[in-house]
Homo-oligomer: A and B are copies of this chain.
Amino acid sequence: MSTRPDLTLDPKNWDSLRKLGHQMLDDMFDYLQEVREAPVWRLMPASDQSKFEEGLPYRPQDPEAVYADFKELVLPYPTGNIHPRFWGWVMGSGNAVSMLADMLAATINSNVCLGDHSAMKVEQQVLAWSKQLLGYPSSASGLLVSGASMANLTALIVARNHASGGDMRRLGARAMAGEMVMYCSGETHNCIRKAAEVMGMGAGSVRTVPVDEQFRIRTDLLEEIIQNDIAEGCIPFCIVGNAGTVNTGAIDPLDELLAISRKYGLWFHVDGAFGALAKPLPEYAALLHAIEEADSVAFDYHKWMHIPYEAACVLVRNAEAQRQAFAQTPNYLLQHERGVSAGSHSFGDYGIELSRGFKALKIWMSLKTYGVFAFMALIRQNISQARYLAQLIEQHPHLELLAPVDLNIVCFRYIRTGWSSATAQDVNKEILMRLQEEGIATVSATVIQGRYALRAAVSNHRSRAEDFDLLAAQVVRLGNVITESVCFG
């Protein structure tokens, strides 16, 4: 070997990096403590944007200078979902315990795939807790993944493999006697369609069933479509039920879907990205009870449980089916009787990924610190806040509720008598953008039965009642200003 000293990324001076770390920590606590006073969103100036054009850094810089770049270019311009008045898409608010847990996880830097080490046990415990949380059988298997897209994909791969009788992994979709098809409502999240594409089934294999006036799947039509598919030689294999649709928070009649899936021998999967987490609340127990009987369920920890991104979970009732869909034992993953490669469980046998970070730690520490009751109380608070907002909307002559509020999503618009749909869209789009530009609040948009809707998804542990008063008042104010300043009609 050379006689030069060995190189390393460890700092020559640990003390100065340690000092910087403490400064960062203080700054992050200040940031969280003061987040209510900050704008929900702000535009990055063009001069800062151009700094992201700089090329690959070859030479080192002081960590203090890099942190200064972070404070100047990154920290002031977040998505905003940690702010009390962020209700865009469906995101969680994060929490301070998880922020610290991610620092701990990044330090020990365990790869949670296989072997005998603590991160494996933490994830197994978090999975056991996840089953308890949803009343799911303890014999089920599961996996933490990045989000509901991956959780749903993982479940659908298991469902397909199970239905195909085992030849799918070797021979693929072309070996099946007919087209395998699955069923869900037209309000289902697009990740189901994307999963079908990824799986080589094609988006056409996803039969989208119309919904009723409450945006729930029409089970009468579902049965017709299944029977029609069978008559035409297709192979139905799965029904996907929604526990909280992305557009309006609608909950499909899960018990009916369960009964139909049993009648036709289909896999019953529940996409409960956020809605499944209302299940422990007594007032949602009946609506969501069928989750306990589902063959698989997907949900996010980074939405309504406020764990920072990424954190989601898939549970599969038939553990062996999940294993059979994914397990491989290549030579380089040999397991042993003792040592770090001991232990019969490999998470790589239950999903797509072999490199798996220690996502479980932030969930483990947050659940232990806050306790489930706190999360449930916050979910209940968000649901009642959504209803409160719906009331404010219904009470105001220029606001219109565009969908029933089943859960935590409120779709509405500012409206004047005689406006065309296009005018309403133009005004409401402008309202949405000004709410954000002025740093007041973030809502996102969707289209409900052809009508452009402002959409407030209330999954935020920092929101207070007064924040919804403000939102309603500001939408009205901006609607009035825009209406008066421009000649609409």
A1-22 interface with B by 8 A CB criterion: 1-2, 6-11, 14, 17-18, 20-22
Cβ of A28 within 8 Å of any chain B Cβ, yes or no, is yes
Contacts of A199 in B (CB 8 A): 172, 198-200
We find that the number of chain A residues with CB closer than 8 angstroms to chain B is: 185
Q: Which residues of B contact A480 (CB under 8 A)?
A: none
A21 touches B100 (CB 8 A): yes
- Which chain B residues lie closer than 8 Å to A20 at the CB level? 100
Say yes or no: B102 contacts A106, CB within 8 Å: yes
Cβ of A368 < 8 Å from any Cβ of B? yes
User: Which chain B positions have C-beta within 8 A of A43?
Assistant: 116, 338
A247: B residues at CB distance < 8 A: 331-332
A355 touches B9 (CB 8 A): no
Given A369-B66, A371-B57, A378-B9, also A312-B106 (CB < 8 A) = no
State which of A107-115, A215-223, A224-232, A287-295 sits at the interface with chain B: A107-115
Closest beta carbon of chain B to A137's beta carbon, Å: 14
Q: List 22 A-B contacts (CB under 8 A).
A: A9-B95, A18-B29, A44-B116, A44-B121, A49-B121, A59-B373, A61-B371, A74-B119, A77-B117, A78-B110, A81-B109, A82-B109, A89-B332, A99-B107, A101-B106, A111-B302, A147-B355, A172-B204, A198-B199, A247-B331, A339-B435, A341-B445
- CB-nearest residue of chain B to A310: B357
Bound-state Cα–Cα, A133 to B444, Å: 37
| Complex Cα gap A216–B296 (Å) | 42
Q: A52-B124, A69-B368, A190-B328 are in contact. List 17 more A-B contacts (CB 8 A).
A: A1-B465, A14-B96, A17-B100, A41-B117, A44-B118, A61-B369, A78-B117, A79-B340, A172-B202, A189-B330, A309-B358, A332-B446, A332-B455, A336-B433, A339-B435, A339-B437, A340-B436
Task: Indicate if A212 sits at the interface (CB-CB under 8 A).
Answer: no
A464 contacts the other chain (Cβ, under 8 Å)? yes
A173 to B160, CA, bound (A): 14
Interfacial chain B residues near A121, Cβ < 8 Å: 44, 49, 52, 73
Say which residue of B77, B340, B361 sits within 8 Å of A118 (CB atoms): B77
Q: Is the CB of A309 within 8 A of B110?
A: yes
Q: Which residue of B lies closest to A448 (CB)?
A: B331
- A372 touches B (CB below 8 Å): yes
